Amino acid sequence: MLLIECPHCGPRAETEYAGCSEAHIARPESGGLDMTDAEWVEWVFWRKNTKGVYLERWNHAAGCRRWINCMRDTVTNEILATYKAGEKPPKIADAEREYKF
């Protein structure tokens, strides 16, 4: 079992978390009223499929129930960092790590 650091609660078992797709996708300021259908679809559904270090939103579902961000390597499942929602990803070595498809 992985131990994942919650920025609020400390190290917790992965079974306390729910992982939920790409982070740092800002809601459109306009609420979408000025967007085309294609732009709206892109915002709602389209996500990167990075083979390498990926920034994700996770929810500490069985703990503080807060949304956090997680920097995870999708190939090795290594978690390089976790940080609070609303914060920028930490600048660390390997943050740009990517593999060839």
Partner 1 sequence: MDNFMRQGPLNDLGLVGRTSEDNAQVTMGDGGRPMVVNLRLDPANKAAMKAVATLVGVDLPQKANYFVEGKETEVHWLAPDEWMIVSQNMEGNELVSKLDEALDGVHHSAVNVSDNFAVITVEGEKARALLQKAIPLDLHPREFHTGMSTQTHAAKTNVILQQVSDAPFYKLYVRRSFSQYLWAWLESGSIGFGLAISS
Q: Which residues bind partner 1 (CB under 8 A)?
A: 1, 8-10, 12-13, 15-16, 62-66
DSSP lists the bridge partners of residue 19 as 58
Give the x/- contact pattern for Zn ion in 48-87, rule: CB under 5 A.
Answer: ------------x--xx-----------------------
Residue 100: partners with Cβ closer than 8 Å, 6 or more residues away: 51
By CB under 5 A, which span of 6-14, 19-27, 73-81, 92-100 interacts with Zn ion?
6-14
49 vs 51: CA distance, rounded Å: 6
